[in-house]
Structure 1
Amino acid sequence: YVYRGGLYRVPTGDYLGEMTDELIEYGPGSYIAEFVSGGPKTYAYLVWSTNKNAFVEVCKIKGLTLNLKASKKLNFAKLKEMVLSEVKSSLEITENRIRRTKDKNVVTVEETKIFKITGPKRKFDCDHGTLPYGYSKRKAHSA
């Protein structure tokens, strides 16, 4: 966020209630050029990195491990496309997971997860904005 003097400054750190500075690793003066969110804990952004002198894509999706294989299917561009699309689509992502069996052996199993955009408990308007359920425009009263 951008801090404006005189207002409350949200503390940054690693503890509950503190904001995490996700740009610190990209160098001083780095900034987010574009951001897209597909719901809670599902977001991606394009950051200008002063360390690399280039744009870097960052994608974080709740419940998915974005390794190289998964990142080819689901990344900043794909998430942006899915969010802005009129047609709601989904993606199948296959992951290898380590699981314990009932007899306490450790095995690697293949799991397929279906990713789709989960909007907030709101309805979407025609400008890709949202309104709370039950919202209705006030009717103009004529006098």
Structure 2
Amino acid sequence: MNRHFLVVATVVLVSCFTANGPARAQGADIKTIVSVNGPPVVVNQNSSLNMVGIFQIGSNTSATVAQNGSNNATGVLQFGGTTSSSVGQAGTNNFTFVGQTGQSATSLLSQLGAMNTGVIAQFGKVNSSMVVQTSP
């Protein structure tokens, strides 16, 4: 599983960087967010290339991501009592990984695109997830 995941992640990242060609300028929005006992994280991205990495630790962690661009990639790692994440992506290539550990883990993933890849790993007493993937 780990080896397959790394291959898929590498292919998605390479396709993200080569989709618009090497000679043209690309609009990119790349964020890394680390939160320890902080407020809920909300990220909205509308560039051609959108990438966000979120790492949260706390009693209650919450992340909401909305990405609208040609290539979208999201990674969320949450550790806490109650963890929740919501990711919405609209673009040609969409990739999301969500990892949650806590008493209660809830995740929602919605992807609209030609190539959609979503991975949700939940380790808690109460786990709930929903994945919706469609192509245009």
TM-score (ref. length: structure 2): 0.23
Higher RCO by CA contacts (8 Å cutoff, separation 6 or greater): 2
> Which structure shows the higher strand fraction?
2
